[in-house]
Amino acid sequence: MDSTISSASLAAALPDAARQVLAQIQARNRRFFVSVVLVVIGILALLFGVLSLLGMDLGFMYEWLGFLLAGIGYTLLVAVLAISLACIIALFGALGRLSHNPIAYGIATFYVSLIRGTPLLVQVYMWYLALPQIGQALEAVGVPYAASVLTLPAVPAGILALGVCYGAYMTETFRAGIQSITAGQTEAALALGMTHPQVMRRIILPQALRVVIPPIGNEFISMVKDSSLVSLMGVWELSYRATKIGRRYFRSLEMLLVAAAVYWIMCIILQAAQGRLEFRMSRGERKRGQA
Amino acid sequence: MTTSIIRVCGLHKVFPPDLHVIRGVDLEVQAGEVVVVIGPSGSGKSTFLRCLNFLEDPTLGEIEIDGVTIQAGFLNKKQHEQVRAIRQKMGMVFQSFNLFPHLTALENVIEGPVTVKKAPRSEAIQKGEELLAWVGLSDKRAEFPSRLSGGQQQRVAIARSLAMDPKIMLFDEPTSSLDPELISEVIEVMERLAKEGMTMIVVTHEMHFARDVSQRVIVMDRGVWVEQGPPGQIFTSPREERTRQFLAHIL
């Protein structure tokens, strides 16, 4: 598509046969694009057709849309705080996994193995339901305030559960990002006389960060949806509101569809934001004319 | 009587479990001397060079750089500090440039002084610009490495090493990954550096550089020196059969 201008300016100098080939290629590209749009429209039409056959109450959906949207606040709050926590944990986790210090390596490896090996759902309940029990037991043996400190309200429990869980997955992402930077970078920095922490901070991490931005964006998008797990603890976020209203009026299909659509739109916006961030982070890799 | 700035004694390097790459070499280099190391691939030239600044830890032997002596072996904390000290006296230029891709040419050059020597940024920038001018790249100061040709990248890499005010420069096949027409611009910079009296150890296949610029050529094979001497003697009347064979291959 962007070849329009250049091929037009070249056209004068090109032989007719070559121009025809270029035109055919352009036509093929345009055909592909148009076909994809048609396919998507077709899928949406089919979906709407099926849904209207089921006798969906569009008015009801519209009526409660505002109420559902009010839950976005909690959804985003939980997701943003949890992903921030996860990034911090993942950074230290990755440094631990790459460390020559047996304590750091041992702790990081155990953490990743344990958290990745257990279901998120179980972990959420652990933070919310099991932790208070531990607190009470500790208080019983004389640790002051243990019960009240370890009895977490739903939102902090959810943020901790999601942050700690995603931190484990992202530890491996960060580790891979750090390891993707070639040994030559470390060698060049060491040859200048840098210490290992300086090499990490000044040379490796800035480059590794750019590598892990796409996977972090990916994790964040998945986090936005997993944040619905905090509804299990009665937080009035998006999906909790949807199931509540759906059950009350026996309109679960409508409410869940609205909730799904809201999640989807949020994720589309996040994907776009991720694309822009990646572009801005690609300083140094960009070629002329791309700025 | 000149004093040697580099003294290597009985150096061995074994890669675990039992790959014996450097098999006991000695070397003394005078300040201002240019030494070229040649030899077939896999002979241990690069490994030897990388042992000098401990990018590879030598297994046995002793290395003395400008008055700092380090006994090879399992290094303790104090020795690691000594290693950092000798690295600051010794710049290294790599075959694959290894410029920092997230930094501009000028930022690459000032990174060492600012981070390692804690030099004031403005001072480092001024010196960095002088160095970029010296390698003929003043107009590229704000470019990222990805926008520079291989020859330009290697010249920035030389400027980056020089920014640390080294007394010695190590070159590990600096032109081996360059297109033929870009080799001369890097060689030209190295020649100027030699003329200014820099102590240099150069691993290279550029025989013209060895012949025209170096004072001594060392031929290495299978982890030991085969022979060494002034370039005129090595190239015209080598004493060893192995030297003759190697030169026949490349000349």
Q: What is the CATH number of the domain that holds A213?
A: 1.10.3720.10
Across the interface, which of B90, B91, B115 has its CB nearest the CB of A194?
Answer: B115
Indicate if A200 and A88 belong to the same structural domain.
yes
What's the pLDDT tens digit per position in A167-200?
Answer: 999 999 999 999 999 999 999 999 999 999 999 9
pLDDT at B237: 92
User: Based on the domain organization, do A187 and A79 belong to the same domain?
Assistant: yes
For chain A, the residue count is 291
pTM of this structure: 0.84
How confident is the model at residue A288, as a pLDDT? 44
Backbone φ, ψ for residue A213 (5° rounding):
-60, -50
Judge if A103 and A230 occupy the same domain: yes
Q: Which one of A187, A206, A210 has the shortest CB-CB distance to B55? A: A187
Question: For residue A287, which residues of chain B lie inside 8 Å, CB to CB?
Answer: 146-147
Given pLDDT bands bounded at 50, 70 and 90, which one contains residue A9?
low
Q: What is the pLDDT of residue A263?
A: 92
Q: Is residue A151 located within the same domain as residue A231?
A: yes
The predicted pLDDT at position A284 comes to 60
Sequential DSSP letters for A124-192: HHIIIIIHHHHHHHHHHTT-TTHHHHH---HHHHHHHHHHHHHHHHHHHHHHHHHHTS-HHHHHHHHHT
Which of B87, B99, B160 minimises the CB distance to A193? B87
Regarding whether A215 and A148 lie in a shared domain, the answer is: yes
**Pair (A40, A116) in one structural domain:** no
Domain count along chain A? 2
Scanning A158-197 for CB atoms below 8 A from B yields 182, 184-185, 187-195
Check if A100 contacts B (Cβ < 8 Å): no
Residue A66 within a domain: no
In this structure, which amino acid lies at residue A21? V
Please name which of B91, B97, B189, B99 lies closest in space to residue B136, comparing C-alpha atoms.
Answer: B189
Q: Which residues of chain B are modeled with pLDDT < 70?
A: 1-2
DSSP A90-129: HHHHHHHHT-S-HHHHHHHHHHHHHHHTS-HHHHHHIIII
Range of the domain at A80: 72-235
- Domain endpoint, select from A194, A211, A235: A235
Q: What is the ipTM of this complex?
A: 0.94
Q: Of B208, B207, B213, which Cα lies nearest the Cα of B191?
A: B213
Q: Model confidence at A3, in pLDDT bands (50, 70, 90)? A: very low
B134 touches chain A (CB under 8 A): no
What's the confidence (pLDDT) of residue A2?
A: 46
pLDDT given at position A285:
62
Say if residue A204's pLDDT is above 90: yes
**Chain A contact for B84 (CB, 8 A cutoff):** yes
Q: Return the pLDDT at B250.
A: 82
Count how many Cα atoms sit within 13 Å of the Cα of residue B84 in the half-sphere of its side chain.
15
d(CA A237, CA A77): 10
* A120 lies in the same domain as A35: no
Shared-domain flag, residues A198 and A94: yes
Q: Please indicate, yes or no, whether residues A122 and A159 belong to a single structural domain of this protein.
A: yes
Q: Collapse the DSSP code of B74 into the 3-class scheme (helix H, G, I; strand E, B; otherwise coil) and give the result.
A: coil
Taking residues A255-280, what's their average pLDDT? 89
Say yes or no: A43 and A77 in one domain: no
Confidence of residue A232 (pLDDT cuts 50, 70, 90): confident
**Residue from the list A184, A193, A285 with its beta carbon closest to the beta carbon of B94:** A184
Highest mean pLDDT among A136-145, A216-225, A240-249, B96-105 belongs to B96-105
A119, A34: one domain: no
Can you tell me the mean pLDDT for A211-222? 90
Q: Is A198 close to B116, i.e. CB distance below 8 A?
A: yes
Distance CA A212, CA A224 (A): 18
